[in-house]
Amino acid sequence: MTPYRIEIPEHELDDLRRRLAATRWPERETPDDWSQGVPLAYVKDVCAYWLNEYDWRRREGWLNEFPQFMTNIDGLDFHVLHIRSPHADALPMVMTHGWPGSVIEFSKVIGPLTDPGAHGGDNKDAFHLVLPTLPGFGFSGKPTAPGWSIEHIGRAWGQLMARLGYERYVAQGGDWGAAVTSAIGLSETKHCAGIHVNMPILSPSESVMQDLTDFEQDALAGHQYYWDWDSGYSKEQSTRPQTVGYGLVDSPVGQMAWILEKFWSWTDSDGHPENVLTRDELLDNIMMYWLPAAAASSARLYWESFSLIGQPQKPITMPAGASIFPHEIFRASRRWVEERYTNLVHFNILEKGGHFAAFEQPEAFVDEVRTCFRNMR
């Protein structure tokens, strides 16, 4: 394991500013809403802020406050933040982000999870945190050959935790992180004591699709809306990630709009992402794609594994928890979750929050994680 610091050369930031200033703009959308994508006026406003006011060095400095390293697993380098709790008996936990997120999503929960007493909690709930970046995302390496599926990543995280000396640990994730965490629940049964997901990966069978409750009917309607109106990105990234990458890697405004639109659609934000996240936070996350030119390489995870979504899933028998946030893409009822996560020890439907739960609602997220794993220590 090689110690690592993020030190972006100034000439790369100068290049970003040059590209922002030279943006070639399309005409505005025809309706006065977000139905055709991110409105031109908002994108121009964010672009001007990114160019003239945003400070990457602030977030870079924050990231470099934490111990981080590069480690090679199966021929690929992985960027990992490893934040040990000041409490020696803390429970090790590997947390995995998704798309279009990054480790930035966890920025507000690191302190409360590693040092609960300093944040109004009980130190008995402390965790040692391991935050790896997915292959092709952020500052991790980019695969040069097919094969980095969610199952492969799950096994890699098992190797990672062993290298860190953690014989017993738990795992958590949302979005692709939930898929990887579920894969850990299948393959790492010797050392992983339990998992928690905030977007269960499942495909309900006919046996649990009878006599649908109001919640289940609403969840299915939301699922259908996603496939009809909100999934174009996934079709492109799962079939032609290389093609979409050319434009996004070359244009910072293109990359920004591609991601911002999902933060509008998937956050519980009353119609605008900046109602729950600051502009700096949104741009901090976008920079984790722009700086390493990760648009195509991150999209390849869809090419590798998106076809598995909606297919019958292997049951997971280890202790598991699921937290369902109301503005999640795919919501699930308890009986749907129990069909796949057969040893469900924690289930809760929250009143507020969306797809980026740790980022949007950090206090609720922390409480869910603590509650889920309290009996697995």
Residue 33: what are its φ and ψ, rounded to 5°?
Answer: -160, -170
Q: How far apart are CA 265 and CA 83, in angstroms?
A: 31
**Ranges of H-type helices in 164-270:** 176-187, 214-225, 232-239, 241-250, 252-266
How do 169-173 and 192-197 pair as beta strands? Answer: parallel
Positions annotated as catalytic residues are 175, 302, 355
List the Cα angle 345/104/337 in 5-degree steps.
Answer: 25
Query: Is-contact 285 255, C-beta < 8 A?
Result: no
Q: Strands of 68-73's sheet, edge to edge?
A: 2-3, 68-73, 76-83, 127-132, 91-96, 169-173, 192-197, 320-324, 344-349
Tell me which DSSP letter residue 28 carries: P
Q: How far apart are CA 123 and CA 117, in angstroms?
A: 5
Buried b (16+ CB within 10 A) or exposed e, 55-77: ebeebbeebeeeebbebebeebb
Q: Which amino acid is at 322?
A: A
Q: How far apart are CA 41 and CA 336, in angstroms?
A: 42
Burial of 214 (0-12, 13-18, 19+ CB in 10 A): exposed
